[in-house]
Structure 1
């Protein structure tokens, strides 16, 4: 099963990260990533650029409203993710407990990623997506 480990942090945690030694942080995260790779569970992992570089498209109005970051009343921001292929949510939790960047203000949200097999296979859009995944080697 696929699980996404979503790294979230508040303003205090982001400030702490900005003060950390970047080379040391890369070493720490690199060792963790290497463990995931050696265990055969890592499918993808990415960090995100600063929220100030992003935008929000709010669909509560027509036309949608586009707002530049940083975001007004956000208490926590999504800073990156790991996508793991593990046997259970319990295994995903165990990996999340070992996250290398921790402390006050840091959290990891874990969400299961449903597979295409869980959707109605007779649906035309599911058939098209399955064909695309097969043609790109993603199935």
Structure 2
């Protein structure tokens, strides 16, 4: 099972405050443990929402909204993508994570990633083949 582990933003991360050397070291060590355990597929920090945009869809119309975005607690500061056996295993790994926002309350959200078999009959053999082909192309880049 794949899970996206979402690190929620804080006022500091949204203000562009960079992590301390101590936190970078702790996170680097944690990431090393994840890699050695064979569960980490990807992981990155994100720039604050002030450097981002949102594209809003309304029927056929598209509008671009520049950041920053108001609800800090709903924003994302970073993520991991993990391959684990269960949600419970993902929870146990997250509990071992250094506090991503030292000195404050922080929140990490765990969300399961859809797999092809989750989509049922609507995910036709042709769509499955297309998906597999695209994944192979992505691996090459």
TM-score range, shorter chain: 0.7 to 0.9
Q: Following TM superposition, by how much is the alpha carbon of 1:123 offset from its aligned partner in structure 2, in angstroms? A: 4.2
Residue 19 to residue 45, structure 1, CA distance change in 2 (3 Å): closer
> CA RMSD for the aligned pairs?
2.7
Q: Following TM superposition, by how much is the alpha carbon of 1:99 offset from its aligned partner in structure 2, in angstroms? A: 1.8
Kept in 1, the 8 Å contact 2:14–2:48? The answer is no
Q: Give the structure 1 partner of residue 94 of structure 2.
A: 96
- Identify which range, 25-34 or 129-138, moves more after superposition: 129-138
DSSP 3-state at the match of 1:106: coil
Kept in 1, the 8 Å contact 2:42–2:81? The answer is yes
Q: Give the structure 1 partner of residue 47 of structure 2.
A: 49
Q: Give the structure 2 partner of residue 5 of structure 1.
A: 5
Provide the rounded CA distance (Å) in 2 between the counterparts of 1:15 and 1:63. Answer: 29
1:116 aligned onto 2:116: yes
Q: How many residues align?
A: 136
How do residues 11-22 of structure 1 correspond to structure 2 at under 5 angstroms? Answer: 11=11, 14=13, 18=17, 21=20
TM-score by length of 2: 0.80
1:67 aligned onto 2:69: no
Q: Find the partner of 1:130 among 125, 129, 132.
A: 132
How do residues 73-84 of structure 1 correspond to structure 2 at under 5 angstroms? Answer: 73-84=71-82
Q: Following TM superposition, by how much is the alpha carbon of 1:74 offset from its aligned partner in structure 2, in angstroms? A: 4.6
TM-score by length of 1: 0.81
Gapped runs of 5+ residues in structure 1? none
Gapped runs of 5+ residues in structure 2? none
